[in-house]
Amino acid sequence: MAKNPVVKVAREILRTPSTLEFPEQKESTTDNYRGIEKLDMKTCISCSSCALICPNSTITMVDTETERGTKKMPEINLERCLFCGLCEEVCPTGCLTLTKNSDLERCDRREFIKRPEELD
Protein backbone atom coordinates (compact mmCIF):
# COMPACT_ATOMS: atom_id res chain seq x y z
CA MET A 1 0.00 0.00 0.00
CA ALA A 2 1.55 3.33 -1.11
CA LYS A 3 1.63 6.34 1.17
CA ASN A 4 -0.29 9.42 0.29
CA PRO A 5 2.09 11.80 -1.57
CA VAL A 6 0.65 14.82 0.24
CA VAL A 7 1.55 13.26 3.61
CA LYS A 8 5.08 12.52 2.36
CA VAL A 9 5.57 16.13 1.23
CA ALA A 10 4.21 17.49 4.51
CA ARG A 11 6.69 15.35 6.50
CA GLU A 12 9.61 16.58 4.39
CA ILE A 13 8.60 20.22 4.82
CA LEU A 14 8.36 19.90 8.59
CA ARG A 15 11.72 18.11 8.95
CA THR A 16 14.62 20.12 10.33
CA PRO A 17 17.26 21.02 7.72
CA SER A 18 20.38 18.87 7.55
CA THR A 19 22.63 21.70 6.36
CA LEU A 20 24.25 24.57 8.24
CA GLU A 21 23.40 28.22 7.70
CA PHE A 22 26.77 29.41 6.36
CA PRO A 23 28.50 31.73 7.39
CA GLU A 24 26.51 32.15 10.61
CA GLN A 25 27.15 28.54 11.62
CA LYS A 26 30.38 26.71 10.97
CA GLU A 27 31.33 23.13 11.56
CA SER A 28 33.78 22.58 14.35
CA THR A 29 37.23 21.42 13.25
CA THR A 30 39.25 18.62 14.74
CA ASP A 31 42.65 19.09 16.38
CA ASN A 32 44.50 17.65 13.39
CA TYR A 33 42.66 19.79 10.80
CA ARG A 34 44.88 21.47 8.20
CA GLY A 35 43.83 24.71 6.57
CA ILE A 36 45.41 27.65 4.79
CA GLU A 37 49.13 28.19 5.30
CA LYS A 38 50.58 31.00 7.39
CA LEU A 39 54.06 32.42 6.80
CA ASP A 40 56.26 34.27 9.28
CA MET A 41 58.34 36.35 6.88
CA LYS A 42 60.81 37.40 9.59
CA THR A 43 61.98 33.84 10.28
CA CYS A 44 61.94 32.52 6.69
CA ILE A 45 65.49 31.83 5.51
CA SER A 46 64.58 31.32 1.82
CA CYS A 47 65.80 27.72 1.80
CA SER A 48 63.14 26.57 -0.73
CA SER A 49 62.58 23.30 1.16
CA CYS A 50 58.83 23.82 1.10
CA ALA A 51 58.80 24.30 -2.68
CA LEU A 52 60.99 21.27 -3.28
CA ILE A 53 58.95 18.88 -1.07
CA CYS A 54 55.51 19.94 -2.34
CA PRO A 55 54.03 16.97 -4.26
CA ASN A 56 51.68 19.14 -6.29
CA SER A 57 54.06 22.00 -7.18
CA THR A 58 51.83 24.36 -5.22
CA ILE A 59 54.66 26.48 -3.82
CA THR A 60 56.92 28.66 -5.93
CA MET A 61 59.66 30.92 -4.62
CA VAL A 62 59.21 34.57 -5.62
CA ASP A 63 61.18 37.74 -4.97
CA THR A 64 59.77 39.66 -2.02
CA GLU A 65 60.79 42.99 -0.54
CA THR A 66 61.67 42.75 3.17
CA GLU A 67 63.32 45.02 5.72
CA ARG A 68 66.69 43.49 4.82
CA GLY A 69 66.26 43.70 1.05
CA THR A 70 64.89 41.30 -1.53
CA LYS A 71 64.48 37.65 -0.51
CA LYS A 72 62.94 34.59 -2.16
CA MET A 73 59.78 33.63 -0.28
CA PRO A 74 57.06 31.03 -0.88
CA GLU A 75 54.01 31.93 -2.94
CA ILE A 76 51.20 29.39 -2.54
CA ASN A 77 48.48 28.48 -5.01
CA LEU A 78 45.65 27.34 -2.70
CA GLU A 79 43.75 25.94 -5.67
CA ARG A 80 46.38 23.24 -6.10
CA CYS A 81 47.22 22.68 -2.42
CA LEU A 82 46.51 19.23 -0.97
CA PHE A 83 46.97 20.48 2.61
CA CYS A 84 49.22 17.48 3.20
CA GLY A 85 51.46 19.32 5.68
CA LEU A 86 54.79 18.32 4.12
CA CYS A 87 55.82 21.97 3.74
CA GLU A 88 55.24 22.54 7.43
CA GLU A 89 57.19 19.41 8.41
CA VAL A 90 60.24 20.18 6.27
CA CYS A 91 60.54 23.88 7.22
CA PRO A 92 63.73 24.18 9.31
CA THR A 93 62.68 27.40 11.07
CA GLY A 94 58.98 26.58 11.44
CA CYS A 95 57.99 29.78 9.64
CA LEU A 96 55.42 28.01 7.42
CA THR A 97 52.51 26.52 9.37
CA LEU A 98 49.06 25.26 8.49
CA THR A 99 46.23 27.05 10.28
CA LYS A 100 42.65 25.98 10.96
CA ASN A 101 41.38 28.66 8.55
CA SER A 102 39.32 27.01 5.84
CA ASP A 103 37.89 30.07 4.11
CA LEU A 104 38.43 29.08 0.48
CA GLU A 105 35.53 30.95 -1.12
CA ARG A 106 36.74 33.10 -3.97
CA CYS A 107 35.05 34.73 -6.96
CA ASP A 108 38.18 34.87 -9.07
CA ARG A 109 40.68 32.02 -9.51
CA ARG A 110 43.58 34.46 -9.26
CA GLU A 111 42.64 35.11 -5.62
CA PHE A 112 43.79 31.57 -4.76
CA ILE A 113 47.41 32.53 -5.41
CA LYS A 114 48.75 33.98 -2.17
CA ARG A 115 51.87 36.11 -2.17
CA PRO A 116 54.12 35.89 0.90
CA GLU A 117 52.75 39.18 2.24
CA GLU A 118 49.21 37.75 2.13
CA LEU A 119 50.11 34.65 4.14
CA ASP A 120 50.10 36.49 7.47
pLDDT tens digits for range 47-90: 999 999 999 999 999 999 888 889 999 999 999 999 999 999 99
- Domain housing 49: 31-101+108-119
Does 12 fall in a domain?
Answer: no
Q: Is 116 exposed, middle or buried (0-12, 13-18, 19+ CB in 10 A)?
A: buried
- Say whether pTM exceeds 0.75: no
Does 85 fall in a domain?
Answer: yes
Could you tell me which residues come within 8 angstroms of residue 43 by beta carbon, excluding any fewer than 6 positions away? Answer: 93, 94, 95
Does 37 fall in a domain?
Answer: yes
Number of domains forming the structure of the chain: 1
Domain containing 85 — which CATH number? 3.30.70.3270
Does 25 fall in a domain?
Answer: no
